[in-house]
Amino acid sequence: MLKIRDLKAAVDGKEVLRGINLDIQAGEVHAIMGPNGSGKSTLSKILAGHPDYEVTGGSISYEVNFAPRNLLEMAPDERAREGVFLAFQYPTEVPGLSNMTFLRTAFNSVCRQQGVQEMAEGPFRAFVEKKAALVDMNPSFLDRAVNEGFSGGEKKRNEILQMAVLSPRLAVLDETDSGLDIDSLKIVAQGVNKLRTKDNAILLITHYQRLLDYIVPDHVHVLSGGKIVQSGDKSLALKLESQGYDWLKGLA
Amino acid sequence: MSVLSAVRQHLDKYLPRVDAGERQFREDAWRRAEATGLPKRGTETWKYTSIAPLDMMNWSVRGTNKIALPDEKKQWLNSLRGDFDTAVLVNGEFAPEISNMSADIQVSAAQLSGSGMKGEDGFADASLAVARPGLRFHVGQGVQVRRPLLIVKYQDAHEGWISSFNQIEVRERAELTVAEVLIGGEAPYLRTDLMLVSLAEGARLKWLRQQTESPSAFHFNETRVTLAANSGLHFTQLNRGSHWLRGQIFVDLLGAGAEACVHGLTFGGERQHLDQRVVVSHFAGETTSSQLFKGVYGDSAKGVLNGKIYIAPGAQKVASRQMNHNLLLSPTAEANTKPELEIYADDVKANHGATVGRLDKEKVFYLESRGIAKATAEKILGDAFVADVVMKIPDERLRRLVGEHHVS
A52: which chain B residues are within 8 Å (Cβ-Cβ)?
Answer: 361
How confident is the model at residue B403, as a pLDDT? 77
The answer to whether A163 and A87 are in contact (CB under 8 A) is yes
ipTM score for this prediction:
0.96
**Helix/strand/coil for B119:** coil
Q: Per CATH, which fold does A2-248 belong to?
A: Rossmann fold (3.40.50)
A92: which chain B residues are within 8 Å (Cβ-Cβ)?
Answer: 360, 362-363, 366
> Given A76, A96, A145, which is nearest B369 (Cβ)?
A76
How many Å lie between the alpha carbon of A79 and the closest alpha carbon of chain B?
7
| Number of neighbours of residue B80 by Cβ within 10 angstroms | 18
Q: DSSP labels for B244-275?
A: EEEEEEEEEE-STT-EEEEEEEEEE-TT-EEE
B373: which chain A residues are within 8 Å (Cβ-Cβ)?
Answer: 77, 109
A88: which chain B residues are within 8 Å (Cβ-Cβ)?
Answer: 366, 369
B361: which chain A residues are within 8 Å (Cβ-Cβ)?
Answer: 51-52
- Residues with pLDDT less than 50, chain A: none
How confident is the model at residue A141, as a pLDDT? 95
The answer to whether B395 and B363 are in contact (CB under 8 A) is no
Nearest-angstrom CA–CA distance, B152 and B178: 11
> Given B360, B370, B380, which is nearest A162 (Cβ)?
B370
Tell me A91's DSSP state. P
Residue A159: closest C-alpha in chain B: B370
Residue A51: closest C-alpha in chain B: B365
Task: Delimit the domains of chain B by residue range.
Answer: 3-404
The answer to whether B385 and B296 are in contact (CB under 8 A) is yes
The answer to whether B301 and B275 are in contact (CB under 8 A) is no
How confident is the model at residue B369, as a pLDDT? 98
Candidates B360, B369, B381, B407: best to mutate against A (most CBs of A within 10 A) is: B369
Provide the β-strand partners of residue B181. Answer: B152, B210
A170: which chain B residues are within 8 Å (Cβ-Cβ)?
Answer: none
Put simply, the answer to whether A92 touches B362 (Cβ < 8 Å) is yes
How many angstroms separate the Cα of B211 from the Cα of each of A30, B182, B265?
Answer: 55, 5, 10
How confident is the model at residue A52, as a pLDDT? 92
How confident is the model at residue A185, as a pLDDT? 92
The answer to whether A194 and A3 are in contact (CB under 8 A) is no
Put simply, the answer to whether B386 touches A96 (Cβ < 8 Å) is yes
- Residues with pLDDT less than 50, chain B: 406-408
How confident is the model at residue A241, as a pLDDT? 81
> Given A52, A102, A109, which is nearest B373 (Cβ)?
A109
How confident is the model at residue B407, as a pLDDT? 35
Q: Rounded to 5, what percent of chain B is helix, strand, coil?
A: 25, 40, 35
Put simply, the answer to whether B369 touches A92 (Cβ < 8 Å) is no
Put simply, the answer to whether B383 touches A97 (Cβ < 8 Å) is yes
- As separate numbers, helices (DSSP H) first and strands (DSSP E) second, chain A gives 8, 12
Residue A101: closest C-alpha in chain B: B380
B360: which chain A residues are within 8 Å (Cβ-Cβ)?
Answer: 92
Candidates A53, A78, A97: best to mutate against B (most CBs of B within 10 A) is: A97
How many Å lie between the alpha carbon of B111 and the closest alpha carbon of chain A?
43
B376: which chain A residues are within 8 Å (Cβ-Cβ)?
Answer: 105, 109
Put simply, the answer to whether A76 touches B372 (Cβ < 8 Å) is no
How many Å lie between the alpha carbon of B374 and the closest alpha carbon of chain A?
7
Tell me how many residue pairs between chain A and chain B have CB atoms under 8 A apart. 77
The answer to whether B274 and B239 are in contact (CB under 8 A) is yes
Residue A164: closest C-alpha in chain B: B370
**Helix/strand/coil for B363:** helix
How confident is the model at residue A252, as a pLDDT? 52
Put simply, the answer to whether A91 touches B366 (Cβ < 8 Å) is yes
Put simply, the answer to whether B371 touches A106 (Cβ < 8 Å) is yes
How confident is the model at residue A237, as a pLDDT? 87
Question: Of the candidates B165, B175, B237, B166, which has an alpha carbon nearest to the alpha carbon of residue B200?
Answer: B175
> Given A77, A79, A94, which is nearest B384 (Cβ)?
A94
Residue A94: closest C-alpha in chain B: B363
